Every structure is written in C-alpha cells, then in structure tokens.
A and B are shown apart, each in its own frame.
Chain A
Amino acid sequence: MNRTINVSVNGKRHTHEVEPRLLLIHYLREVIGLTGTHMGCETSLCGACTVEVDGKAVKSCTMFAVQADGTEVLTVEGLAAPDGKLHPIQEAFWNEHALQCGFCTPGMIMVSKQILERNPDPTDAEIREGLDGNLCRCTGYQHIVNAVRTAAKAGV
C-alpha cells in the first residue's frame, strides 16, 4: 500500500505518495530530481549516498523514504548559500584538492559536516575515524583529511 509522506528537502516542503520499499536515495534522485547524492555500492558500505536526516548523517541507500516522513533532509545541494557562495567545507574540498573523480565527494562533504559539528577541532586521527564509513577510490584520503582540517580552521 502506498503511503503519503511529507518531507522537507533543503528547506523546501514536498508531499508525495510513495511505495514503502522506495529507498530514500531513489526518492531524492528520481522523485525530487536532486542527483547530487550519489549511489555507489548500494550495500551500506561506501557512504557516497550520505545525507542528513534531522541533523544526523545517514546512508540514504539504507533507509526507506517512508522512514523520512516528517523529517528535514539536507543534501549536498542544500549546502551552498542561495547566492551560490560555497559552504566552507565545499570551499576547503576545492582548495585542498580533496577530490579527483568527485564521485565520493557529496558523501564525504556531508559526513565531514557531521564530524565538525560534533567535534569542531578534531585531530587527524579523529577525522580519519569519522570518515570510516566513506570510501574514496581516487585520492588516498590524505587530501580529504587536509580539507576537513582546513574547514575546521575556517571555523565551520
């Protein structure tokens, strides 16, 4: 049986009738049309699909859209200011060359936001521990760690 869900995505309210088995990532990408959130492994391991639900970073491939009913979802598209000015974490990823192909980047940025919200001045070890659920096949992680450190210094 389909269910009606009300979700705020990047501050905009949406109401849709969805099948309970629809994954949150498919809802975001295919129903709402926000393709910034990437589907990598589909098996809860790579973190490319990370978004925030009520302020908590989650893997949107491992959550049904119906579980997000009544919540506020934030995706990578919601980070920059309305005038296009990048979020300090996005700025830091750019300046520190924290991406090559960019596939992992939306998830890396969303989890970095959670890391810094919970610990504004993390050590490199704490950053790496925080990035545990996100895989990058290109960078070797060092530049990502540098970017998170730089964003921390910028005072996110």
Chain B
Amino acid sequence: MIANSFEYSSPATLAEALGLIADGAKPLSGGMSLIPMMKLRLASPEHLVDLARLPELNYIREEHGELHIGAAATHHDVENAPLTRGKCPLLAETAAHIGDIQVRNRGTIGGSVAHADPAADYPAALQALEAKIVLRSASGERTVSTADFFIDTFTTALEPGEIVVEVIVPVEPGLTGTSYQKCLQPASGFAIVGVAARVRRDGDNFGPVQIGITGLTGTSYRATAVENALTGKPATEETIRAAAAHAADGVDANSDLHASAEYRASLAVSYTARAIRSALSRSA
C-alpha cells in the first residue's frame, strides 16, 4: 500500500505553514488518520504541511482558570501531563482511551478534532467540558464552541485555509466529578458509544451536570435531555436510570456491522448511566 506522490513541507514557523495552507496545502499532524487514508488512496493530497513539528503548536498551559492545549499536543501528552491530569482529569482520562500506545504517541488533539470521526473519543469530553476551539488562517483567528465546531460526520466549522491551533478547556472545579465510559469496538479500538459526564452535587441532589456523547450518530452532541432530568433531582440510582433513558432522544443512531441503530441507542443509555454513576462517585 503506497500513497500517491505528494510534496512535503516542514516549515519552521506557524506563519509559514498557514501561508502554504492558504495556497491549498493540507495539514499533516500525527498522521494516524490521514496516512492510513492516503495508503488506501482515499486521500491523495498534493502537498502536505507538517504541523506536528511546530513548537508553536506544542504546549499545554494554564491561563486565567483555563487550560490551553496546543493542536500538536499528542494524546500521550494529554493523557500524562500533570496539568491535564490534575486540572482537567476528564480530558486526560479520555485521551487514555484512544487507540494504543503507538497511536497515542503520534496522534494529536488538533488532528483528532479536525478529522471529526464520528467514533472519536475526544469530542464526547469536549462537548461535556464546553471546550472552545481556536481556529487560525493566514488572515486571522476565531474561537468557536465545541457545539458549533462539530457539524456532521468528518465535517467541522473549519473553512478552507483554516487550521485548529488550540483547544481550551476549563480548570475543573475541585468538587466536580467526571468520568468517560466507552464501549469499544475491539478490533479498531474506536468507540461504538462513548459518554463523558461532569457532575456537581447540590446537597443530596444533582447540581449542574454536563453529558457529551460520541459514536452514536454522525457527530458528538450534548445530551441536554439527560442533564435536565438530573439537575435538582435526588442523587439516587432511580434518578440516574430515569435520566439516562433520554440519552438517545431525538438522535438518528448509526447502524453498521458492529451495532444496529437500536443496539447502539441502548448502549448509549447504559453507558450514560455508568458515566453518571462513576462521575457522581468522584464528586464531592
């Protein structure tokens, strides 16, 4: 399996990279999605610009109560950096569920969100975290919410010439419990369904809750019906079951060789209940 011929550039600065991308070159980050597609000739870009080597995109830092994660941060970095582990454990936990050691060593958060695979793991966490995604082109920068960024299968708010430069997530308040629960397809490791939950308590009741779901349909989403059925209700198993039952409400579930639409929707309900239970047990 040999890719079509292409030109390869590894510019030293982001400005240079954006210039090449404005002229039609395609970004290459970890290559964990793009290279397999090029080998199958499902993608045949004429010019690749390597973003993975740009120090300007490779960082994880804290600023004003938020974590800024450069697009070239690998899944391994996000899984292991003391900042993400300590201050946004949901994102670190989610990164640990991606693929295998070798994939996490090369794959990047920028590449994963830009690729927008409907079975990718990060989107569930980013939805629950209400993350912001920073996009830049040669002509400027803009910030979009996760909800606005993911549009459909392999489709995002990225315009031609634009790249993802950064993902911004909140520093998790100490009392919030979080959890990512994934039913994985054992051969590929991708999510059949993945559910990220953030839970605050309000006395004996559920306080604010955020739930993000991936794998079920064309793109990740916030399960607001579940969230609304939890907040203000007693933090009991009964509430959890009743709320989780809404996980797939109004969603057109995917059907494939691994899981029928009906089974996927039922998995979404079960994994939502697991994620809430687990997040609740970690909340204070």
Contact = CB atoms under 8 A, between A and B. Distances in A.
A in complex with B:
yes
A133 B8 CA distance: 28
Contact of A63 (B7, B106, B188): B106
Given A56-B76, A63-B35, A132 B50 contact: no
A13 B35 CA distance: 26
A47 B100 contact: yes
Interface in A7-49: 19-21, 23, 42-45, 47
Contact of B103 (A3, A69, A133): A133
B39 interface: yes
Q: How large is the interface on A (under 10, 10 to 19, 20 to 34, 35 or more residues)?
A: 20 to 34
Contacts of B8: 3, 20, 64, 66
B48 A56 contact: no
A52 B170 CA distance: 34
Contact of B39 (A19, A20, A42): A42
Given A19-B5, A57-B102, A62 B10 contact: no
B101 A114 contact: yes
A56 B106 CA distance: 9
A130 B28 CA distance: 26
A130 B101 contact: yes
A21 B4 contact: yes
B225 to A, nearest CB: 34
Interface string B99-142: 11111011000000000000000000000000000000000000
Contact of A69 (B10, B36, B39, B99): B10
A129 to B, nearest CB: 9
A44 B36 contact: yes
Interface centre among B31, B50, B188, by most chain A C-beta atoms within 10 angstroms, is: B31
Interface residues of B, number: 30
Contacts of A111: 101-102
A41 B241 CA distance: 43
A19 B8 CA distance: 9
Contacts of B257: none
A73 to B, nearest CB: 13
Nearest to A133: B100
Given A20-B6, A20-B48, A43-B36, A132 B101 contact: yes
A30 to B, nearest CB: 12
A57 B74 CA distance: 13
B102 A133 contact: yes
Contacts of A44: 32, 35-36, 103
A65 to B, nearest CB: 10
Contacts of B103: 44, 59, 133
Interface string A99-117: 0000000000001001100
A58 B10 CA distance: 20
A64 B39 contact: no
A114 B189 CA distance: 20
A58 B102 contact: yes
Given A21-B2, A56-B76, A67-B52, A62 B101 contact: no
A66 B101 contact: no
B102 A50 contact: yes
28 contacts: A1-B7, A20-B5, A20-B6, A20-B8, A20-B48, A21-B4, A21-B5, A23-B2, A42-B1, A43-B36, A44-B32, A47-B100, A50-B102, A57-B101, A58-B102, A58-B106, A59-B103, A62-B32, A62-B35, A62-B36, A67-B28, A67-B52, A69-B10, A111-B102, A115-B101, A130-B101, A132-B99, A132-B100
Given A21-B6, A44-B35, 8 more contacts: A21-B38, A57-B102, A59-B102, A59-B103, A64-B35, A115-B101, A132-B189, A133-B103
Interface of B: 1-8, 10, 28, 31-32, 35-36, 38-39, 48, 50, 52, 76, 99-103, 105-106, 187-189
